[in-house]
Amino acid sequence: MTASRKPASLTATQEAPVPHIAFIGGGNMASAIIGGLAKHGVSPANLTVVEPFEASRDALRAQFNVGAIPQADTSLENADLVVWAVKPQNLREAAGQAGPFCKDALHLSVAAGIRSDSLAQWLGTQRIVRAMPNTPALVGLGQTGLFARSGVSDNDKAWVEWLVANMGQFLWVGEEAQLDAVTAVSGSGPAYVFYFIEAMEKAAIEMGMSPDHAKQLAIGTFVGASQLAQSAQEPVSVLRERVTSKGGTTHAAITAMQSAQVSALFQDAIKAAQARAQVLGDEFGKND
Ligand X SMILES: NC(=O)c1ccc[n+]([C@@H]2O[C@H](COP(=O)([O-])OP(=O)(O)OC[C@H]3O[C@@H](n4cnc5c(N)ncnc54)[C@H](OP(=O)(O)O)[C@@H]3O)[C@@H](O)[C@H]2O)c1
For the bound state, the minimum distance from the C-beta of residue 202 to ligand X, rounded and expressed in Å, comes to 25
Strand 168-172 and strand 142-148: pairing?
A: parallel
Nearer CB in complex with ligand X: 7/187:
187
For the bound state, the minimum distance from the C-beta of residue 34 to ligand X, rounded and expressed in Å, comes to 11
| Residue 51 CA, distance from chain mean position | 19
SS (H, E, C) the chain: CCCCCCCCCCCCCCCCCCCCEEEECCCHHHHHHHHHHHHCCCCHHHEEEECCCHHHHHHHHHHHCCEEECCCCHHHHHCCEEEECCCHHHHHHHHHHHHHHCCCCEEEECCCCCCHHHHHHHHCCCCEEEEECCHHHHHCCEEEEEEECCCCCHHHHHHHHHHHHHHEEEEECCCCCHHHHHHHHHHCHHHHHHHHHHHHHHHHHHCCCCHHHHHHHHHHHHHHHHHHHHHCCCCHHHHHHHCCCCCCHHHHHHHHHHHCCHHHHHHHHHHHHHHHHHHHHHHHCCCC
Nearer CB in complex with ligand X: 133/285:
133
Binding positions for ligand X, 114-133, rule CB under 6 A? 132-133
Residue 25 lies near ligand X (rule: CB under 6 A):
yes
53, 213, 227, 229: which one contacts ligand X (CB under 6 A)?
A: 53
33, 37, 42, 50: which one contacts ligand X (CB under 6 A)?
A: 50
Residue 148 lies near ligand X (rule: CB under 6 A):
no
1, 21, 29, 108: which one contacts ligand X (CB under 6 A)?
A: 29
For the bound state, the minimum distance from the C-beta of residue 113 to ligand X, rounded and expressed in Å, comes to 7
Pick the piece of the chain touching ligand X (CB under 6 A) from 58-66, 109-117, 264-272, 278-286: 109-117
7, 8, 51, 82: which one contacts ligand X (CB under 6 A)?
A: 51
Nearer CB in complex with ligand X: 168/187:
187
Nearer CB in complex with ligand X: 106/111:
111
75, 78, 97, 155: which one contacts ligand X (CB under 6 A)?
A: 97
Nearer CB in complex with ligand X: 17/27:
27
Residues 166, 139 contacting (CB under 8 angstroms): no
Binding positions for ligand X, 73-92, rule CB under 6 A? 85-88, 90
Q: Which residues bind ligand X (CB under 6 A)?
A: 24-30, 50-53, 56, 85-88, 90, 93-94, 97, 110-112, 132-135, 187
